Amino acid sequence: MHNETEEAPLLPGLKPVLELLSSDPQRIDCVFCKKGLRGADAQEVLNLCRQHNVRFSLVDQVALDRLCRAGGQSGQGRQGRDSVSHQGVVARLAATGFTDLADLLAGVDNAPLPLIVALDQVQDPGNVGTICRTLYALGGAGIILPQHNSAYLGPAARRAAAGALEKLPVTRVTNLGHALDSAEEAGLTIYGAGGDGPSSLNAFDEPMQLPAVLVLGNEDKGLRPGVAKRCAHMLRIPLARAFDSLNVAQAGAVLLGLAAAHRAKNSDS
């Protein structure tokens, strides 16, 4: 399980999780379910997770007990082996509210910097928080995250964001490629970071044409092929010294800074 579960807001119990899945599944980041758990309600939890594209993970009893104890969910007595009264099901709640993609795209021109950042499976919550902090400070419109395989927006991300996550519009999507298609249809130019081929643009010489989406990739693998092919342009940051690379938060800060500087220059001229 994710290493932030000990600090994450949790909802233990079969019935409470089932009710929240039925009424407001967007509030759930992930459901942890005991392996081999039987019964109609347990099956309905998994069915609703699949229906609403909520992540779920099958774990053992010890892991669930440890998760609830670390989260402060101390049970009163024992129900069989369910010593923390989770009944074999625990939901980790989303730590922030989410904005609909359509609303984010509709409001992009109202931002001081009409630029959206999309993160393609960025795993480190510190990186996500730092990117959010930079984006908000420079006037960016918001951020798009895939629902699966993204860092949890919990305490570590919030610490790195220094308050930006509470103010920046965040959209969570099932399919990032389809979200980028929608952004392109809405008139935004899609840029991908990390290009090193002959057709990639020198970010110092070629300013982004706004409104736009800047897509930043996974710390190790970069952009997935299905996401990269949606990018109209790939951007590279020319380095003055031989060096491996910048990490995703550093690269994002450079590219966002360049976009903000170009925007300010055009506004003043």
pLDDT, tens digit (0-9, with 9 covering 90-100), for 99-132: 999 999 999 999 999 999 999 999 999 999 999 9
Q: How far apart are CA 245 and CA 195, in angstroms?
A: 12
Residue extents of the structural domains in the chain: 10-93, 101-268
Q: Which amino acid is at 36?
A: G
Q: How far apart are CA 181 and CA 254, in angstroms?
A: 25
Instruction: Reduce the DSSP state of residue 160 to 3 states and report it.
Output: helix
Query: For a pLDDT cut of 70, what percent of the chain falls above it?
Result: 90
- Give the alpha-carbon dihedral of 101, 103, 105, 107, to 10 degrees: -150
The CATH H-level (homologous superfamily) assignment of domain 101-268 is SPOUT methyltransferase, trefoil knot domain (3.40.1280.10)
Location of structure tokens 């308050």 = 163
| pLDDT confidence bin for 244, thresholds 50/70/90 | confident
Residues with Cβ < 8 Å from 206, sequence gap 6 or more?
233, 235
In this structure, of 51-55, 71-75, 145-149, 198-202, the range with the lowest mean pLDDT score is: 71-75
Measured CA distances, 82 to 66, 172, 198 (Å): 11, 33, 59
Domains 10-93 and 101-268 equal at CATH topology level: no
The dotted CATH code for 10-93 is 3.30.1330.30
Could you give the count of Cα atoms lying within 13 Å of 183 in the half-sphere of its Cβ?
37
- pTM, two decimal places: 0.76
Location of structure tokens 């440890």 = 66
Could you give the count of Cα atoms lying within 13 Å of 102 in the half-sphere of its Cβ?
0
Per-residue pLDDT at 7: 56
Q: If you average pLDDT over residues 155-164, what whole number do you get? A: 89
Instruction: Reduce the DSSP state of residue 44 to 3 states and report it.
Output: helix
Per-residue pLDDT at 83: 43
